[in-house]
Structure 1
Amino acid sequence: MHFLKRLGLRPELPAKVFSAETAINTVAAAAMLFPARAMAQDWSAPATSMLQSLESGLVSVAAPVIGVGVIIYGIWAMVTGRIDIMRLAQLVGAGALVIFGPTALRALLSAA
């Protein structure tokens, strides 16, 4: 910064500004004002309602998709005469995670 001043690329300010004191005062005022407002209202309600609707939407969409995938895989295995147990286990495991995952998450969060 001093190098730019010596080259004349950054002129001095016409008035001396104490930005550090202003910033400290602003942060102190905000710290005193905002916690009182946050405690006065339920600030977490929008986030929790959004997560609940996202959870129910994902479960209601993903469960039938995985079910259709298991049906299509069963038809493919019947037509080709080959069944891959690992792939079938992955499909069933994914279905279990989609169905039971949100319930487990709710149980863990309520216990905390």
Structure 2
Amino acid sequence: MPTTKRLGLRLTPPAKVDFSKTAIKTFLAASMLFPARAMAQDWSAPATSMLESLESGLVSVAAPVIGVGVIIYGIWAMVTGRIDIMRLAQLVGAGALVIFGPTALRALLSTA
């Protein structure tokens, strides 16, 4: 006979759970197994490598696109004889953000 029953104590669970269901058994088994595997390995490596790859890919694609945009805008300004300084400044600023933004972000996060 358990000690709690002998003392007249009744432990009530916070929620009623049907442990006969397969989904509950699977969830409990996974919750017991996966933390041990996560602590044993570098579990963040796939996510960080994916983000680094995504960052370098976006920079390598966006920089030439913005460069071509500046060239096309320069040709249009030459043909029409009108140049909008604000639009040109926006294109150059966007190019600077795309190229230097990830480097600045990495430098800021490494110092934190």
TM-score (norm 1): 0.71
Q: CA deviation at 1:71?
A: 0.7
CA RMSD across the alignment:
2.4
Indicate the residue corresponding to 2:67 in structure 1.
67
Which of residues 5, 17, 20 in structure 2 aligns to 1:20? 17
- Describe the SS at the equivalent of 2:17: helix
Q: Deviations over 1:74-98 (max 9, x none)?
A: 1110111111111001100100010
Larger mean CA deviation between 32-41 and 54-63 belongs to: 32-41
Q: CA deviation at 1:30?
A: 5.2
CA distance in 2, matches of 1:40, 1:28: 19
Indicate the residue corresponding to 2:86 in structure 1.
86
User: Residue 46 of structure 1 aligns to which amino acid in structure 2?
Assistant: P
User: Residue 50 of structure 1 aligns to which amino acid in structure 2?
Assistant: M
Indicate the residue corresponding to 1:34 in structure 2.
34
Unaligned stretches of 5+ residues in structure 1 = 1-17
Indicate the residue corresponding to 2:8 in structure 1.
none
User: Residue 55 of structure 1 aligns to which amino acid in structure 2?
Assistant: E
CA distance in 1, matches of 2:37, 2:108: 29
Seen in structure 2, the aligned counterparts of structure 1 residues 19 and 39 have a Cα distance that, compared at 3 Å, is: same
Unaligned stretches of 5+ residues in structure 2 = 1-14
CA distance in 1, matches of 2:32, 2:87: 57
Q: CA deviation at 1:107?
A: 1.4
- Describe the SS at the equivalent of 1:58: helix
Q: How many residues align?
A: 94
Indicate the residue corresponding to 1:96 in structure 2.
96
1:76 aligns with 2:73: no
User: Residue 105 of structure 1 aligns to which amino acid in structure 2?
Assistant: L
TM-score (norm 2): 0.71
- Describe the SS at the equivalent of 1:20: coil
